Amino acid sequence: MSTPYDLRKVLAELQEMPGEYHETNVEVDPHAELSGVYRYIGAGGTVKRPTKEGPAMMFNCVKGFPDTRVLIGIIASRDRVGKILHHDPKHLGRLLKDSVQNPVKPVKVAKTDAPAQEVIHLATDEGFDIRKILAAPTNTEYDAGPYITMGVVFGSDPEKTMSDVTIHRMVLEDEDTIGMYIMPGGRHIGHFQKQYEALNKPMPITINIGLDPAISIGTTFEPPTTPLGYNELWVAGALRQEPVQLVDGVAVDEVGIARSEFIIEAEILPHETIQEDINTNTGKAMPEFPGYNGDANPAVNVVKVKAITHRKDRPIMQTTIGPSEEHVSMAGIPTEASILDLVDKAIPGKVTNVYNPPAGGGKLMSILQIHKESEADEGIQRQAAILALSAFKELKTVILVDDDVDIFDMNDVMWTLNTRFQGDQDILVLPGMRNHPLDPSERPEYDPKSIRFRGMSSKTILDGTVPFDLKDDFIRAEFKEVPDWEKYLK
C-alpha cells in the first residue's frame, strides 16, 4: 500500500523534477529577510518588481529555530501545481470543478498513526511560547508581527453537525495568543464562531500547517460552490482519490489533519478582540494579495493556544508571501472552478475555459474564453460575464475573448483588446456592487458616486469577442502546420 499524500511525499516528487525545488543551508532571518530573498527567486504575482516565477524553496537554517525548516512557494507556479496534481495546468479549473462534484470524505486515524502528534507541547508546560516553537516569518519590516499565512483552520458548529476549513491571516501576538482576521461574510468558520458567541462559549479549532497542496488549494473554495455544510477537505480527497486523514486533538475537542507538519490546538474566545498591530503600532498588517500592505485591523479575534503538536524529524513551517503567485494558485484556480460550474449549468458549451491571472491576485479578474457557433450565440458572452460575477462576489473585472485566443498569455489577451474591442460599446460598468475590502480603491473618497461604504466597487466587463456576423473579417493570419518543427532545434 502506498504512503498517503502529504507535504513530504509531494516534496519528494518535486525533487525529481528539474527546476521545481531548491533548498539552501545558508542561514536566513525569518524577520523580513526570508521573504525578501524569495521575492527575487520565485514569488511572482503582484509582488513589487523585480520578482519572477521560480522554484519552491526550503530554508534549512532559520535563525533562532535550529530544529525547524521553512518552505515557501510550493504552489507559486501554475505549471508546478499541474505537476503536483498530475494534471494539465491549463485545465485545473475543470479538475477542481469535477472534484467538488465527486467528494471523498476524510477518515479518522489513531494518534499512533498521526505523524503530526509525534511531539506535543502543552500550554501548561513551563516556558511555553508559540513564538519560540513556530518559525512564522514576517513578510516585511513593517508587519504587525510573525504571521501564519498557510495555516488551514478546522472548525465545527457547536452541535458538531457541520465542519469546515478556511485560511486566514493570523499574527502571533504573545506566548499563547494569536490574532485572527475573519473576513465578514461568506466564511463558514465565521458563521460557526458567531454561533459559539451566542452561547458565550469559546470555539475549539485546529490550525494545520505544512500540508499536501491539494488541501491548501481545495480549502479556498467559497459559497455558492461549496455551501454551508460542505467541508472543502472533501475536495482534497477527490483530487487525490484518497481520504484526508484526521486525528482527535490532545487538548481541545476538535480534529486536526493527521499528516500535517504542525497542528496548533486553540480556542477562539467569545466577544474578545485585540489590536492586530499591538506590538508594533505600524498601522500595517502584512502584504495582501492586491500587492499593497494591508491595514492593521483594530479588532481581530483573540485565539488562545492550548497545545502545539508537530513531527519529530525537523518539522516544516510552510509560509507564503501575500501578493505572490502562490496566492494566485490558491484563490484563482478554485474561482475558475466555481465559474465553470455555474456557466456549464446555465449556458453549456459556451465558455470553454476560464483563467484568473496574477494581475488580479487570483480573485479580482477573470478571463473567459467564449465559443460562438451561430448568430443565436451573440450576446451570450455578456451573460457569461454576469454569471461569473454571480459565482464569485469578490470578482471585479471580467475580460471576454474568442476561443482562438490563449487566455493564459496576457499579450494575446491584450491583443484582443486592441484589435477586437471598441471602448464606447464594449465596456459594461456595474456600479455600487459588493467586492473585496482589501482593494484600496474601494473607498468613498475614491469614488463618492457609487461607493457608499468600504468594500463596494464598480464591476467592469470588457467584451473582446468579435460580433458573430463579422467573424470572417477577424481571422488570424494562418501559418503552415509543421508537425516535426522540433527537429530544427537539434
Q: Which active-site residues does the annotation give?
A: 288
**Amino acid letter for position 59:** F
Contacts of 33 (CB under 8 A, 6+ apart): none
- According to the 3-state scheme, what is the secondary structure of 51-100? CCCCCEEEECCECCECCCEEEECCCCCHHHHHHHCCCCHHHHHHHHHHHH
Say if residue 415 is exposed, middle or buried (CB neighbours under 10 Å; 0-12, 13-18, 19+). middle
Q: What's the number of CA atoms in the CB half-sphere (13 Å) around residue 209? A: 32
Beta strands in 83-176 (DSSP E): 107-108, 119-122, 147-148, 151-156, 163-167, 169-174
Cis link prior to 50 (omega < 30° from 0)? yes
Residue with C-alpha cell 458563521? 191
485 exposure class (CB count in 10 Å sphere: 0-12, 13-18, 19+): exposed
With both helix axes pointing from N to C terminus, report the angle between 92-101 and 333-346 in degrees, rounded to the nearest 10. Answer: 70
Quick check: 31 and 54 in contact, CB under 8 A? no
Residues 6+ apart with CB under 8 A from 96: 217, 218, 221, 235, 239, 333, 334, 336, 337
**Alpha carbons 58 and 77: distance in angstroms, whole number:** 16
Q: Which three cell numbers stand for residue 132?
A: 519560540
Place of cell 470578482: 395
Taking residue 490's Cβ as centre, other Cβ atoms within 10 Å add up to 4
Angle, vertex CA 255, rays to CA 254 and CA 256, nearest 5: 130
CA angle 30, 35, 40 (to 5 degrees): 140
Q: Locate the DSSP E strands across 394-455.
A: 397-402, 427-434
Return the C-alpha cell found at 349. Answer: 458549451
Q: What are phi and psi of 292, to 5 degrees?
A: -115, 155
DSSP 298-366: SSEEEEEEEEEEE-SS-PEEEE--TTSHHHIIIIIHHHHHHHHHHHHHHSTTSEEEEE--GGGTTTSEE
Q: Are 132 and 308 in contact (CB under 8 A)?
A: no
